[in-house]
């Protein structure tokens, strides 16, 4: 699709969309969002890029092979489960590290977040694998 308007808007939107996908991922535990939704948003952003610039350019922008994302994502999710086992709790039990920041803010790191990151990566990897396989010939 050779459209100047689409290309220009895509260039503007892509960064925002990708950042927004990470935002959705991170806020997911307390507000609408999460790994699935974040991953789909990121995948939709790349799909937009594919429509505007073609699969090859998109492939170059993503830099990693989507198939690698599948492996990394699944590994992250399983590791999140195994960390719980290391603590002597059942597989996939959540473990949390909470840091208090000045001004009543706090940062919560957890195996649950790691798990959600894994979900995010698998979703992005799946959609992009299909997308690039369809387009890249």
Partner 1 sequence: MLIAVLVGFAVALVAPLATQRLGDRAGWWLALLPAGLFAWYLTYLPAVAAGGSVSEATAWVPRLGVTLAMRMDGLSLLMALIVSGIGVAIVIYAGGYLKGDATLPRFYLILLGFMAAMLGLVTSDDLISLFVFWELTSITSYFLVGFKHQYADSRASALQALLVTAGGGLAMLAGFLMIVAITGSTSISGLIADPAPLLASPLLPAVIVLVAIGAFTKSAQFPFHFWLPNAMAAPTPVSAYLHSATMVKAGVYLLARLAPVFAAEPLWVWLLSLIGAATVVVAAGLALLRRDSKALLAYSTVVALATMVMLIGLGGEYAGAAAMVYLLAHALYKAPLFMVAGSVDHEAGSRDVTALRGLGRAMPFTWATALLAGVSAAGLPPLFGFVAKELAIEALLDTRAWLLVPLIGSGAVLLLIAVLVAWRPFAGREITAPKAVHEAPLSMLIGPLVLASAGVVLGFAPYLVGDALLVPAAAAVIGAPYAFDLYLWHGLTPALGLSALTVALGVFLTWRWRALHDALRARMGGSRFGPAGVYQRLIDGLVPFAQAFTRRVQPDDLRTHLTVITAVAVLATGLTGLVKGSLSLGVAHQPGYFYEYMVMAVVVAAALAAVRAHRRLPAITALGVLGFGIAIVFVFFAAPDLAITQFLVETLIVIIVALVLMRLPRHSLREEDNRAVRAVAGTVAALGGLLITSLTLAVTAGPLDARLSDFFAAESYPSALGRNIVNVILVDFRAIDTLGEITVLVVAAVGVYALLLRRDTSRDPDGVEPPRGSATSDGGDA
**Among 4-12, 56-64, 123-131, which window interacts with partner 1 (CB under 8 A)?**
123-131
Residue 26 interacting with partner 1 (CB under 8 A):
no
Can you list the pairs that 16-22 forms with residues at least 24 positions away whose Cβ atoms lie under 8 Å?
17/41, 17/42, 17/44, 17/45, 17/48, 18/42, 18/45, 21/45, 21/120
Q: Binding residue for partner 1 (CB under 8 A) from 13, 17, 22, 47?
A: 47
Helix (H) or strand (E) holding 46: helix 35-53
Distance CA 36, CA 27 (A): 12
Burial of 103 (0-12, 13-18, 19+ CB in 10 A): exposed
**Among 5-13, 46-54, 56-64, which window interacts with partner 1 (CB under 8 A)?**
46-54
**Among 8-16, 56-64, 114-122, which window interacts with partner 1 (CB under 8 A)?**
114-122
Report the interface residues with partner 1, using CB under 8 A: 28-37, 40-41, 43-44, 47-48, 50-51, 66-67, 70-71, 73-74, 77-78, 81, 91-92, 94, 96, 108, 110, 112, 115-116, 118-119, 122-123, 125-127, 129-131, 133-135, 137
């Amino acid at each position: 699709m050779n459209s100047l308007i689409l290309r220009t808007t895509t260039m503007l939107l892509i960064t925002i969309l990708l950042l927004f996908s990470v935002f959705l991922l991170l806020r997911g535990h307390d507000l609408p969002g999460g790994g699935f939704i974040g991953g789909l948003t990121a995948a939709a952003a790349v799909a937009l890029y594919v429509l505007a610039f073609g699969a090859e350019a998109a492939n170059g922008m993503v830099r990693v092979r989507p198939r690698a994302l599948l492996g990394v994502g699944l590994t992250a999710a399983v590791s999140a489960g195994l960390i719980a086992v290391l603590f002597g709790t059942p597989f996939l039990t959540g473990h949390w590290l909470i840091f208090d920041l000045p001004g009543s803010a706090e940062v919560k790191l957890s195996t649950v977040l790691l798990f959600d990151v894994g979900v995010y990566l698998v979703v992005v990897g799946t959609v992009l694998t299909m997308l690039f396989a369809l387009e890249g010939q």
